Amino acid sequence: MGIMIRRKKLRNLMGIVKDKASIIKAITLSTSLHATSMRVSIIRATTHDPSSPPSENRISAVMGGGGQGSRTISSTCINTLMGRLQATRSAAVALKCLLVAHNIVSTGSFILKDQLSFYPSTGGQNFLNLSKFRDKSDNDTWQMSSWVRWYAAVVEQNLMVSRVMGYYLCNNLDRNNNNNKVSALSSWEVLSEVDALLDYVECTRDAPDSFKNVTNGLIHDVLELVGKDYRLVQRELSIRVKELGDRIHGLSSGELTRFLEGLNRVEDGKESLSSLFKKRRSDDEFWDLISQVKMRILEIIMVKKREKETRLMITWVGGEDHVQKKSTRLSEPPQALFRLPSGGGWSSSLGLTHVIV
């Protein structure tokens, strides 16, 4: 136990030294005073300390400096932040970089969000793909690495949802305007938005199992911010599920199947999501809506299945090259039918020949 404590203290001391060295480097190499200030702000907001999250002042300093002025300044901010995220091997630094990026998506200026959404400008690089990230310093950092991988995927899904819907989640708080927008879309377009929102829900529910025993202040802040986004996604999903529910009788068989599969997907994550986030009254309303609409879809599918089964007979007229289908209702119980030796007709056990024309 004593050895582990000494190792952690040594690691923290080395982290402090690295942060100071990075600040000195930023001051020495920068040619612009504003760029220097921006880089120093980012380093101070994303230190190697694994236990404490960046303060609101530190995050505000990054967003305030990068969100004011020209696109060049905003680009410098995002490039510096993403460069630090890609270069670091520290789980604490990576998690803090993602937390700052998430705050930019949630409350940052439009110009900063725009730069982050389309970074890098040359394309061809998934800057939030941290699926291979591993900090092997000790057991704690190894466990924290799983949070880095999960959180990167969540932030990426947030940006992908925004691209599909045409606006950032946090920027569309007017429910009436949102309802009008959704009602103007085709059913296929609404289903596409539902799929994007469900991708976010599925990504969120896959949080590391250690969330049940979270004592780390940094991870606590991460979960709090993700929880706010989940509530927004839940609201957006509710609007679209209600809209599709109103159109349910006009949906094609393919659209009904796709809609049902989507509702099954979200229901599959109910238990995980309920454990991950603090329960609210809106949760019960959301799950009740999902259940009710799902039952309506199943009822319609059953009705369509019965209608298909009411096609009682396929009669062949004039041989196999000429086929006509017709739903036939007999005024009396059907008799046994058999094929005549020649011709295309059928004969019943009563001796009557049935030919449908």
pLDDT of residue 134: 94
pLDDT of residue 355: 43
In SS3 terms, 32-57 reads as CHHHHHHHHHHHHHCCCCCCCCCCHH
> What residues in the chain have per-residue pLDDT under 70?
1-13, 15, 30-31, 67-69, 119-126, 171-177, 210-214, 311-357
pLDDT of residue 349: 47
Peptide bond into 120 cis (omega under 30): yes
pLDDT digits (tens, 9 = 90+) for 16-46: 778 778 778 777 776 677 788 888 999 999 9
pLDDT of residue 348: 47
Angle between helices 175-183 and 217-246 (to 10 degrees): 50
In SS3 terms, the chain reads as CHHHHHHHHHHHHHHHHHHHHHHHHHHHHCCCHHHHHHHHHHHHHCCCCCCCCCCHHHHHHHHHHHCCCCHHHHHHHHHHHHHHHHHCCCHHHHHHHHHHHHHHHHHCCHHHHHHHHCCCCCCCCCCCCCCCCCCCCCHHHHHHHHHHHHHHHHHHHHHHHHHHHCCCHHHCCCHHHHHHHHHCCCHHHHHHHHHHHHHHHHHHHCCCHHHHHCCCHHHHHHHHHHHHHHHHHHHHHHHHHHHHHHCHHHCCHHHHHHHHHHHHHHHHCHHHHHHHCCCCHHHHHHHHHHHHHHHHHHHHHHHHHHHHHCCCCEEECCCCCCEEECCCCCCCCCCCEEECCCCCCEEECCCCEECCC
Q: Can you tell me the distance from the alpha carbon of 220 to that of 52, in angstroms, rounded to the nearest whole number?
A: 10
pLDDT digits (tens, 9 = 90+) for 183-216: 999 999 999 999 999 999 999 999 998 666 667 8
pLDDT of residue 282: 81
Closest CA to 149 of 62, 83, 222, 55: 222
Strands 353-354 and 346-348: antiparallel
* Residue appearing with tokens 């006509």: 324
